[in-house]
């Protein structure tokens, strides 16, 4: 067991495929950005698990009971259900995997530091996913578990679906592999059922139909620019409103999924072939598709500021759209190399949009990942790795 292990994971933004990717097997493009959450794991003194997060004003001690972490102080229970939910679920999943092999937990101190906020507000870069991926790497590293990137991704997704099976996991993939990612989601409800019926190790080993992940080359002769509306949004609330509404059960949903797959596939092809004009066209089409869905479902994805963000960027020669669930947070613009980024920044500022100085980190720090088509491929055996426990 290592004395101290630190891992970090980046935030993400969607380029195309929002909402459609909630359906297993539907494609999306997601990109990692150079804002990170860092998790450090070390030995705890006394308490079984202690969490020190810069998003809280005090440390939170936790108690283990039958594979579950509980707050020692009643006032901290809300943090465990809210701010710390994904971190706590990650620790529980990893330690339950070890328990299935007869290995015992150790006292842990988890120190969390986040840069996925702006002026004290979240900016829609996937902080829950980033902390899950960073914690997965740090806790498994502390316990001496040598896991492949795919095994770490699968553990992170299982930790996520224990809380909510709705999110696709695309943000987890971006945080795990970095760079530009083409992603198709597995059936998260099926994973949750498997966890209850078969346990963690068998669920990790099993094929995950629908899952497909591969890295993509960055766009040629285009620069990714990110604008922030200044208004945080609740992704979970927007997704819940959509999936609970009549539109989600109508024939329009099938048309939306088919059109989304068409334009995401076109964008993937444009990235792979280095065709900037085709990519701009696909991103514009993806924006209009989302706008039509937003209007038909009365969702509220396109706020006034997001519309201004997109229209202003288009006037500067870019292809622009909201990124993610919308309702606030961020939008993206793909700006041709011969257009002035300072002009876009100035126009955005005049429209009340803050340009975020974000870059796409190179994925070289993490090994590449072979694509897994639906129903094929399982990770390097995470169970035999975990049995090594303390080296």
Question: What CATH number does the domain containing 344 carry?
Answer: 3.30.70.890
Whether 42 and 147 map to the same domain: the answer is yes
pLDDT score recorded for residue 364: 54
The reply to whether 317 and 278 lie within a common domain is yes
Computed over its alpha carbons, how large is the radius of gyration of the chain? 21
Same domain for 89 and 9?
Answer: yes
Is 391 within the bounds of a domain? no
| pLDDT of 177 above 80 | yes
* Residues 379, 340 within the same domain: no
pLDDT for the residue numbered 161: 96
Structural tokens at position 118: 């702006």
70 is written with which tokens? 């509980």
Same domain for 190 and 244: no
Say whether pLDDT at 368 is over 60: no
Do 67 and 207 share a domain, yes or no? yes
Percent of the chain with pLDDT over 90: 77
Quick check: is 241 in a domain? yes
User: Is residue 319, in this structure, part of any structural domain at all?
Assistant: yes
Q: What is the pLDDT of residues 58-78, one digit of tens each?
A: 999 999 998 899 998 888 998
Pick from 207, 160, 164, 201: which is nearest to 186 by CA?
207
More confident residue, 308 or 328: 308
Residues 198 and 233 in one domain: no
Q: Are residues 63 and 160 in the same domain?
A: yes
Note whether 270 and 278 are within 8 A (CB). yes
What tokens were used for 370?
A: 């072979």
Give 48 or 119, the one with higher predicted confidence: 48
CA 181 – CA 215 distance, rounded (Å): 5
Which of the 8 DSSP states describes residue 126?
Answer: -
Residue 79 backbone class (left: φ over 0; alpha: ψ -120 to 50; beta: rest):
alpha
For residues 185 and 82, membership in a common domain is answered with yes
Q: Which pLDDT does position 118 carry in this prediction?
A: 64
**Partner residues linked to 334 by β-bridges:** 224, 319
Provide the pLDDT confidence category of residue 233 given band limits of 50, 70 and 90.
confident
Instruction: Please compute the mean of the pLDDT values over residues 181-200 and round it to a whole number.
Output: 97
- Nearest Cα neighbor of 87 from 163, 143, 176 is 163
Residue 190 forms part of a structural domain: yes
In a domain? residue 237? yes
Judge whether 81 lies within some domain. yes
Domain that holds residue 31: 4-216+363-386
In the chain, how many domains are there?
Answer: 2
The encoded tokens of residue 79 equal 């943090």
Co-location of 169 and 40 in the same domain: yes
| Residue 194 and residue 52 in one domain | yes
380 falls in which pLDDT band (50, 70, 90)? very low
Residue 282 lies in a domain: yes
Confidence of residue 1 (pLDDT cuts 50, 70, 90): low
User: Per-residue confidence at 377, pLDDT binned at 50, 70, 90?
Assistant: very low
64 & 183 share domain: yes
Domain contains 245: yes
CATH code of 109's domain: 3.30.230.10
Report pLDDT digits (tens) over 308-324.
999 999 999 999 999 99
Tell me the average pLDDT of the chain.
90
């Amino acid at each position: 067991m290592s004395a101290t292990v630190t891992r970090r994971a980046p935030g993400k933004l969607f380029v195309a495929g929002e909402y459609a990717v909630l359906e297993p097997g539907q494609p999306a493009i997601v990109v990692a950005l150079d804002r990170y959450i860092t998790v450090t794991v070390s030995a705890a003194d006394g308490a079984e698990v202690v969490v020190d997060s810069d998003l809280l004003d005090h440390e939170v001690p936790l108690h283990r009971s039958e594979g579950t972490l509980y707050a020692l102080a009643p006032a901290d229970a809300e943090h465990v259900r809210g701010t710390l939910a994904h971190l706590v679920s990650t620790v529980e999943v990893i330690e339950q995997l070890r328990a299935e092999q007869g290995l015992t937990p150790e006292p842990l101190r988890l120190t969390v530091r986040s840069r996925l906020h702006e002026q004290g507000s979240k900016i829609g870069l996937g902080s829950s996913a980033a902390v899950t991926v960073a914690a997965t790497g740090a806790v498994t590293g502390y316990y001496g578990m040598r896991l492949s990137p795919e095994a770490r991704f699968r553990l992170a997704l299982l930790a996520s679906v224990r809380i909510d099976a709705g999110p696709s996991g695309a943000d987890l993939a971006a945080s795990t592999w970095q760079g530009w990612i083409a992603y198709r989601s597995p059936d998260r409800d099926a994973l949750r059922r498997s966890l209850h019926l078969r346990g963690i190790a068998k669920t990790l080993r099993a094929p995950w139909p629908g899952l497909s992940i591969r890295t993509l080359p960055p766009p040629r002769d285009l620069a990714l620019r990110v604008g922030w509306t200044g208004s945080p949004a609740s992704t979970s609330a927007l997704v819940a409103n959509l999936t609970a509404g009549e539109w989600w059960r109508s024939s329009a949903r099938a048309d939306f999924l088919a059109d989304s797959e068409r334009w995401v596939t076109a964008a993937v092809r444009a990235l792979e072939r280095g065709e900037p004009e085709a990519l701009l066209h696909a991103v514009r089409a993806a924006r209009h598709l989302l706008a039509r869905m937003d209007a038909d479902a009365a969702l509220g994805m396109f706020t006034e500021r997001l519309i201004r963000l997109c229209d202003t960027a288009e006037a500067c020669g870019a292809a622009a759209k909201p990124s993610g669930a919308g309702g606030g947070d961020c939008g993206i613009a793909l700006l041709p190399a011969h257009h002035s980024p300072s002009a876009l920044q100035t126009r955005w500022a005049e429209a009340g949009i803050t340009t975020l100085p974000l870059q796409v980190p190179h994925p070289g720090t993490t090994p590449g990942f072979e694509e897994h088509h639906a129903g094929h491929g399982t990770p390097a055996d995470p169970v035999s790795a975990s049995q090594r426990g303390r080296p």
